[in-house]
């Protein structure tokens, strides 16, 4: 019985995580999460100053980065729970973890392709990029699903512009495209969406990728990434959302799991397969950020948190492997020792009882 008690206590200790140790990059994770929280607070204030109210039914944490249900920039349906989950600053800590798992180091180039659907995910990635002192090349699609960066005048372009002016972030966007169906702007309410994208590019001094078909858009993006990297190899491609130019329009895209993707997946040979497959075929790893709920479950960060969690407390900041093995080993040793003691005392008691019975019988 004592051995069983020891085992139960041991596994209870393991599950409580009381002996968890910080990851080797804990400080960077916390720094990235704090930077994201600072950015969200600043954006909420800026949004109010612009006269764009925050609907607490949609954005109960007042992050300011969640858009509206339907606007002229909305391309497709969107999941509100996923949008709110993506505002959790712990997501920036997850990205730091991914970058470390890929072995990225100071100065490495990260190519980023983002739709307008998840501005908070793009913010998390840029916060991780900055604290790890990486170099980013960002191409952004203006079109957004519901509750994303779909407010005219407050897309991620305006958000980043403000964060740069406030000295919170230094990252830039090098080019934008319309997004929507085949990256041509189709699917939005706005009739002149391509012209709108061109005007935004002029205002923010960047290239507008305005092509007539998806293949041309993909090829131009590859050129932009290559030109920005110059002679340096791109270390990683980060896909955020489901923009056709990045994600592709083939059924093969549906088989890509979120998180880190290596070149073990099936790579179709098709001109509209998307940049994920282009980079994988070139031997460059991909971080795929689309199914936010699955990522949150896997990395143990809170789904749809209200309020936002205290930073540095989620399991993503800790490495439990070594402590767990230590505890488990100690538990087995203690259990084995307890078993020996029980057997010894049982044997001793048996001998004593036998002696007493022998005396009594005589």
Contacts of 234 (CB under 8 A, 6+ apart): 109, 110, 111, 137, 225, 279, 284
Listed by start position, the domains of the chain span 2-10+320-361, 22-318
pLDDT in tens, 165-190: 999 999 999 999 999 999 998 878 78
What are 80-99's pLDDT values in tens digits?
Answer: 999 999 999 999 999 999 99
pLDDT at 2: 54
Task: Say what percent of the chain tops pLDDT 70.
Answer: 83
Q: What mean pLDDT is reported for the chain?
A: 88
Task: Count the alpha carbons within 13 Å of 98 in the hemisphere toward its beta carbon.
Answer: 29
CB-side exposure of 143: number of CA atoms within 13 Å? 26
pLDDT band (50, 70, 90) for residue 346: low
State pLDDT tens for residues 234-278.
Answer: 999 999 999 999 999 999 999 999 999 987 789 999 999 999 999
Distance between CA 72 and CA 75 in Å, rounded?
8
By the 10 Å C-beta count (0-12 exposed, 13-18 middle, 19+ buried), 123 is classed as buried
pLDDT at 348 over 80: no
Report how far residue 22's alpha carbon sits from residue 89's, in angstroms, rounded to the nearest whole number. Answer: 18
pLDDT for residue 187: 78
Q: Is the pLDDT of residue 16 over 80?
A: no
For 9, 31, 107, the CA distances from 132, given in Å and listed in that order, are: 40, 10, 9
In the predicted structure, residue 112 carries a pLDDT above the cut 70: yes
Asked if 120 and 83 touch (Cβ cutoff 8 Å), the reply is: yes
| 47 Cβ contact list (under 8 Å, min separation 6) | 54, 64, 154
Better-predicted residue by pLDDT, 344 or 245: 245
CA distance 220 to 90: 34
Higher-pLDDT residue of 8 and 119 is 119
What pLDDT, in 10s, does the model give residues 205-223? 999 999 999 999 999 999 9
According to the model, what pLDDT value does residue 339 have? 52
Is the pLDDT at 138 greater than 90? The verdict is yes
Residue 127: CB atoms within 10 Å: 28
Whether 148 has a pLDDT exceeding 80, the answer reads: yes
Stronger pLDDT, 31 or 4, i.e. the higher one:
31
pLDDT of residue 14: 52
Report DSSP state, residue 226.
Answer: H
Residue 332 has pLDDT above 90, yes or no: no
The whole model's pTM is what?
Answer: 0.86
Q: Tell me the three state secondary structure of residue 339.
A: helix
The pLDDT of 17-45, averaged and rounded, is: 93
Mean local confidence (pLDDT), 338-350: 51
């Amino acid at each position: 019985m004592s051995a069983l008690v020891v085992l139960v206590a041991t596994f209870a200790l393991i599950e409580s995580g009381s002996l968890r140790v910080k990851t080797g990059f804990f400080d960077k994770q916390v720094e990235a999460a704090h930077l994201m929280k600072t950015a969200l607070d600043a954006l909420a204030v800026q949004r109010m100053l612009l006269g764009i109210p925050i609907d607490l039914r949609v954005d109960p944490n007042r992050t300011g980065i969640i858009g509206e249900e339907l606007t002229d920039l909305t391309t497709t349906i969107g999941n509100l729970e996923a949008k709110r989950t993506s505002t959790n600053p712990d997501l920036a800590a997850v990205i730091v973890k991914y970058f470390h798992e890929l072995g990225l180091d100071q100065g490495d180039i990260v190519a980023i392709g983002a739709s307008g659907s998840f501005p908070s995910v793009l913010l998390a990635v840029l916060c991780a990029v900055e604290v790890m002192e990486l170099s980013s090349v960002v191409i952004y699609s203006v079109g957004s699903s519901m509750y994303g960066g779909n407010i005219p005048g407050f897309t991620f372009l305006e958000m980043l512009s403000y964060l740069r002016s406030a000295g919170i972030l230094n990252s830039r966007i090098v080019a934008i495209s319309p997004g929507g169906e085949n990256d041509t702007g189709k699917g939005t309410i706005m009739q002149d969406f391509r012209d709108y994208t061109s005007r935004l590019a002029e205002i923010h001094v960047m290239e507008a990728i305005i092509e007539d078909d998806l293949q041309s858009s993909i090829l131009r993006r590859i050129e932009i990434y290559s030109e920005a990297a110059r002679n340096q190899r791109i270390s990683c491609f980060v896909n955020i959302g489901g923009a056709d130019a990045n994600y592709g329009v083939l059924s093969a895209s549906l088989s890509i799991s979120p998180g880190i993707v290596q070149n073990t997946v099936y790579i179709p040979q098709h001109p509209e397969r998307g940049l994920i497959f282009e980079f994988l075929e070139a031997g460059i790893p991909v971080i795929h950020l689309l199914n936010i709920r699955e990522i949150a479950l896997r990395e143990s960060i809170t789904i749809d948190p209200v309020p936002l969690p205290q930073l540095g407390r989620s399991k993503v900041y800790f490495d439990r492997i070594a402590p767990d093995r230590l505890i488990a080993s100690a538990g087995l040793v203690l259990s084995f020792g307890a078993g020996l003691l029980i057997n010894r005392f049982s044997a001793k008691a048996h001998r004593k009882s036998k002696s007493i019975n022998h005396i009594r019988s005589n």
